[in-house]
Amino acid sequence: MLVNYFLALATSLWTVAVWAQEAVSIDDIFVVHMSPLEKGGCTEAEKTKLGTWFDESFDMLDESFAALQDYDTNERVQKAATTFFGFQPEMATAEDITEAIKENIGQVSDFMNNDRASPKPHIFCNTDFLERKAPTDPVQDIQGEFVPDPKNPDKLLTIKAQLKSKISKTKSAYWIELIKVYWISEPKWATGFCDDKTQLAVTGDFNIDIMDPKNSKTSQIIIICPQAFTTSEYKDELYKSGIAVGDHIEAWQPKSLTFLHELFHVVHGANMLSGTKEIYGAIACADRALKAKSASAVRKNPETFAFFSMAMYYLQNKIIDFSSLTATSLPESSSD
């Protein structure tokens, strides 16, 4: 009896440990900068919403990965994969495509589970933290100190001299005093980004030590614009009820989908479409998936993965079927 007691106790403690390990929060994965102490920081209300978006993204990723595990036997998952990723189950390459999609989703899920050696990405809620620098300005190192020119120690090394391969007529260096790094970007994706009220978020990479770029680690910045939190175009949360047969998936798009979209940029970087090459909206993604010449593009499109994950969330939780964009019902006895 005593042995059984200790066995039960050990099992209980292990379960608690596993539960504690799984309870990952946004602060475990990101550095969320806060206002008013930090330029570009988020308000407490915005931070709370980001926490909700983090949790909802976590759930959508889990459900989409689980759904793909049943791809071979679940016709609804097959239909959704055809709708969003443009391939049929009978295609010779279907298995390879499915595995690639599953791997892409799985890697983002792993990242959300704190399985990443790289430094934490940074989240800001406006662009006030970005300071545009001229090419002739002296460059600053990882401590924020100015650097002597090795060819002329009496002068300071300029940004142009150190970053000449990265800056151009269209790309500038933006100094981020809070984390002592430069972000190289076009102005439309930087200081002026949130001025366009149609824009919601953007992700960019940076070298942590630009004085030693070959050995420097990289990390990311996500800028979530104020309008991403306040827009009335999207739902405040993933709804568990109220969706009717015939409703379009875009009518129920949660604000957290913006965050989920950016996660694919953070994890996959240049392997995903970015900037003007991206495809936005479920309808546009599905239209591109129908075209043989562009179907491969949607398999590298963050928005496609986000909407697919949303659809699988509703399917796996037996709420509604968005596999063809327009909601259809799920029989109560369905084992799909």
Torsion angle of C-alpha atoms 133, 137, 138, 140, degrees rounded to 10: 0
Counting residues of the chain whose pLDDT is more than 70, the rounded percentage is: 91
- Give residue limits of the domains in the chain: 43-118+239-328, 127-224
Task: State the pLDDT confidence band at 163, using cuts at 50, 70 and 90.
Answer: very high
| pLDDT reading at 245 higher than 50 | yes
DSSP secondary structure letters along 197-254: TT--EEEEEEES-TTSTTT--EEEEEEE-HHHHH-SSSBSS--SS---TT-BGGGG-B
Q: Assign domain 43-118+239-328 one CATH number from 3.20.20, 3.40.390, 3.40.50, 2.170.220.
A: 3.40.390
Residue 64's pLDDT is 98
Are the C-beta atoms of residues 159 and 181 closer than 8 Å to each other?
no
| pLDDT reading at 18 higher than 90 | no
CB-based burial label for 246 (10 Å; 0-12, 13-18, 19+): exposed
Residue 16's pLDDT is 37
For residue 110, report the phi and psi dihedrals to the nearest 5 degrees. Answer: -60, -45
- Amino acid identity, residue 216? S
- Rounded to the nearest integer, the mean pLDDT of the chain is 91
Are the C-beta atoms of residues 208 and 285 closer than 8 Å to each other?
no
For the stretch 30-51, pLDDT in tens is 999 999 999 999 999 999 999 9
CA separation for the pair 67, 77 (Å, rounded):
7
- The radius of gyration computed from the CA coordinates of the chain, to the nearest angstrom, equals 23
Residue 332's pLDDT is 67
Task: State the pLDDT confidence band at 6, using cuts at 50, 70 and 90.
Answer: very low
Residue 10's pLDDT is 42
For residue 205, report the phi and psi dihedrals to the nearest 5 degrees. Answer: -95, 155
Task: Count the helices and strands in the chain (H runs, E runs).
Answer: 11, 9
Flag whether the pTM goes above 0.85. Answer: yes
User: Between residues 61 and 330, which one has the greater pLDDT?
Assistant: 61
Torsion angle of C-alpha atoms 228, 196, 222, 191, degrees rounded to 10: -140
Decide the pairing of beta strands 201-207 and 218-224: antiparallel
For the stretch 213-229, pLDDT in tens is 887 888 999 999 999 99
Are the C-beta atoms of residues 108 and 169 closer than 8 Å to each other?
no
| pLDDT reading at 289 higher than 80 | yes
CA separation for the pair 78, 299 (Å, rounded):
15
User: Between residues 328 and 294, which one has the greater pLDDT?
Assistant: 328
Counting residues of the chain whose pLDDT is more than 90, the rounded percentage is: 82
**CB atoms near residue 119 (< 10 Å):** 13
Residue 60's pLDDT is 98
Interval 276-303 mean pLDDT: 92
